[in-house]
A and B are shown apart, each in its own frame.
Chain A
Amino acid sequence: MITELEMGKAESELELGLGLSLGGGTAAKIGKPGGGGAWGERGRLLTAKDFPSVGSKRAADSASHAGASPPRSSSQVVGWPPIGSHRMNSLAAKSAREEEEAGKKKVDDDEPKDVAKKVQVGFIKVNMDGVAIGRKVDLNAHSSYENLAQTLEDMFFRSKPGTIGLTGQFTKPLRLLDGSSEFVLTYEDKEGDWMLVGDVPWRMFTTSVKRLRVMKTSEANGLAARHQEPNERQRKQPV
């Protein structure tokens, strides 16, 4: 049984979890003590701007470019993957050159390349707001939205005694799909639009999803409003 005391301890350790390779930042991260509490109450939500640049130009660059929607990729973690700076500079120069050349190509070159390039078919990236490191899920291993939501809950909110998942929360199951909790599940489709998960049939979803994001409900409000009309229309359609 996990007691209040242990929960409290876990929460203060949770603070450290937040600091995962983001430099830890200031001691001011110590949030309110005491039970339950959602992620957001615990002090500020870390964004790309909080990453101290430990001599890494890349971290600083990505901080200035980071917007609200695109999830951070794990390449923005300082010193990861562990490639020496000489090699990193060479790679960065190379990708800059490639981007230049790619910019000259037509846009529809990207689509077929996308499909062909996935090494791990069915795997898509999942990022969660406030967590630096993204994860991957295999869509082929899931048969429904509930399945997927469960896996994601386990992944990000895993609560094993004595262990600390990515967030370390010991809360009741998060209902990612019904909009009743702190977080919602959203996805980016092939056209680059961000949508709420759950509106389209599962099969259609798996063919059109590019990546997932566990977003704070407050930020997702815009999305819900945008897509309400078509949803309502769908529901109102006669059977």
Chain B
Amino acid sequence: MASVSLLFVTLLSVTLYINIKSFILWDQSQTFLPSLSDSVLMDRRFPFKVLEHIFSFVDSNEDRNSVSLVCKSWFETERRTRKRVFVGNCYAVSPLKVARRFPKMRSLTLKGKPHFADYNLVPDGWGGYAWPWIEAMAARRPLLEEIRLKRMVVTDECLEKIAASFRDFKSLVLTSCEGFSTDGIAAIASTCRKLRNLELRECIVDDLGGDWLSYFPETSTSLVSLDFSCLDSEVKLSDLERLLSRSPNLKSLKLNRSVTLDVLESLLRRAPQLVELGTGSFSDELDPEEISKLTKALSELKQLKSLSGLWDLLPEYIPVLYSVCPRLTSLNLSYATVQMPDLIDLLSRCSKLQKLWVMDLIEDKGLKTVALCCKELRELRVFPSGADLDETDVTLTEQGLVSVSEGCQKLESVLYFCVQFTNAALVSIAKNRPNFRCFRLCVMEPFAPDYRTQQPLDEGFKAIVERCKDLRRLSVSGLLTDKAFEYIGVHAKKLRMLSIAFAGDSDLMLHHLLSGCESLKKLEIRDCPFGDTALLENAAKLETMRSLWMSSCFVSFGACKQLSQKMPRLNVEVIDEHPPKTRPDSSPVERIYIYRTVAGPRLDTPEFVWTIHKKPEVGVSRLAIR
């Protein structure tokens, strides 16, 4: 379908004005509506209906954004046909404008806080409130069916509003959100008659108990996916059993840890059509009869492709899983504390595996097995098993990743935590696997050089960016000088997101990145010695990006002020945990978050966030949060 839209774009290339960002056009278009739009729609070569039909094949929002830039009539037709709206930064545009622009909107996806909020680098109360969006959509787009939020603050009032306002509401997916309780979930469960998806992924929920599950009415049979793995409290088994019995369309079920192993069998019996299963705890004691019943129940899941949960999986229960292994395309063992060699028994049976998340307990040996047996592997994530770096006593080294890169031809996405690394390994990996799209290496020891040669890891990452021409996302770590970033600037032309910590020598580093990486959209940096010069010199670049995060770097307050004044379409936020009383221009700022926006200054900045628009008397707007 992408080729269809591309064809049109090239055909009408004479009228393309590619450099105008589509959201700027939104801004201007508001003055055209409604008077111009009707005449525009009537006055073109292609009848509206034909265009509309053609655009219905254009799914990707990137393509749709390109389509909308061709000419006014295409803009109008596209906006009236877009059903799935994606807003990568909830502060980049106002909810009202989005609601007005897309009358046929059925699905809204929003992202709030910056990515580094996942690692506690963004203080509580920073922002990312869902309320203004939900309020705006409730008033103007009551036919909305799906809301997907990531890193946003969602309150119970928000959830109640959703339940009350959208009569056809089908799908709620909250990832890394916070601010609500199980009461809000209950409101959704009880009121949304057509609910299909209710997924809470890694949210921080005020867990008031497991009653929320009983709020699904007895008449509700529409459930397709249910994920409550991040909740703590126990749900009533009978509620869950009855829900499963009356949900023949349920394809994905992710239980929480407090669902014990002894009840799993009874649940699975009632949902043999599951495609995705997230178990609860896998460590409770079962007697032999229970084990054999569970084994049988799992073997009955003929459609099962994805398995997760498996908290504290005991080695003696691994055989129970054997029957599902051959069909699995996705396996998440990152909470399973199983070690070698037990893991081999499991992994050697998973020949169709495409996605594997595991802890470093897999060690180099286990990864060798993966390289031999899992030839379809596309994504690998290896997480650390020890909370304290000093306690790592597993033999997971760079060799593990080298083996997998050799054996798994389709591998394109990696997240690898390791204590230290070598340039030679990175070069091998790059040679083996030029098809990487996402390469995230976290050398956990900050400033760790190549432990064999004591050199910085510059050459290794150079190999990665040189060979992997399609690289979209990169995280670097270890000892790195400015040279590494010069290489990245020169070679990583398709790179969209880059994460850096404890690296570089000087401003040159930032300069190389901002002037070299053409496709860069998100840059996040912590603890690097950058200063003002590179930032100010490359200010224009920032408008082509979604956002830039810098914390514990050498940016001065004066530079932040200058940048704000120079670039009115950027929001420059200075975030201090404890804002100082006086701020001389030369003083360094703790964190700076810069993003492009057509919505102007936020109305809901807390007191610890400084922007140039700040009037001391304006606190957090009461309208913004509910």
Contact = CB atoms under 8 A, between A and B. Distances in A.
Contacts of B176: 84
A102 B466 CA distance: 47
Contacts of B383: 83, 87
Interface stretch (A14-22, A193-201, A212-220, A228-236): A14-22
Interface in B375-397: 383-395, 397
A44 interface: no
Interface in A13-43: 13, 15-17, 19-27, 30
Contacts of A77: 446
B526 A54 contact: no
A92 interface: yes
B577 A52 contact: yes
Contact of A113 (B116, B393, B448, B576): B393
How many of chain A's residues touch chain B, expressed as a range?
A: 35 or more
A145 interface: no
B248 interface: no
Nearest to A168: B529
Interface string B491-523: 000000001011001100000000000000000
A77 B120 CA distance: 11
Given A27-B583, A73-B390, A160-B505, A85 B447 contact: no
A119 B395 contact: yes
Contacts of B442: 81-82
Given A17-B529, A83-B119, A24 B588 contact: yes
Given A94-B337, A94-B387, A135-B447, A27 B119 contact: no
B121 interface: yes
Contacts of B394: 119
**Candidate in B551, B552, B553, B577 with the most chain A CB atoms within 10 angstroms:** B552
B590 interface: yes
Contact of B527 (A20, A75, A94, A136): A20
Nearest to B504: A163
24 contacts: A12-B586, A20-B527, A22-B552, A27-B582, A27-B584, A54-B120, A55-B123, A73-B388, A73-B389, A73-B390, A75-B388, A77-B446, A78-B121, A79-B119, A85-B204, A86-B202, A86-B230, A87-B383, A91-B385, A94-B337, A116-B393, A119-B397, A133-B502, A136-B420
Given A82-B442, A87-B383, A91-B385, 15 more contacts: A12-B586, A21-B526, A21-B552, A27-B587, A54-B121, A80-B119, A80-B444, A84-B202, A85-B119, A116-B393, A117-B393, A120-B420, A125-B390, A136-B420, A163-B505
B526 A79 contact: yes
Interface in A51-89: 52, 54-56, 73-75, 77-88
Interface string B44-59: 0000000000000000
A74 B445 contact: yes
Interface of B is mostly: loop
Contact of A81 (B444, B505, B590): B444
A132 to B, nearest CB: 9
A164 interface: yes
A15 B577 contact: no
A75 B121 contact: no
Contact of B577 (A23, A81, A136): A23
B590 A23 contact: yes
Given A82-B442, A119-B392, A123-B451, A54 B387 contact: no
A95 interface: yes
Closest CB pairs A-B (n = 6): A79-B119, A117-B393, A91-B387, A56-B120, A163-B505, A24-B590
Nearest to B555: A16
A238 interface: no
Contact of B384 (A13, A79, A83, A120): A83
Interface in B258-288: none
A6 interface: no
A162 interface: yes
Contacts of A78: 119-121
Interface in B417-463: 417, 419-420, 442, 444-448, 451, 454
B118 interface: yes
A83 B417 CA distance: 10
B335 interface: yes
A90 interface: yes
Contacts of B335: 90
Contact of B588 (A16, A120, A133): A16
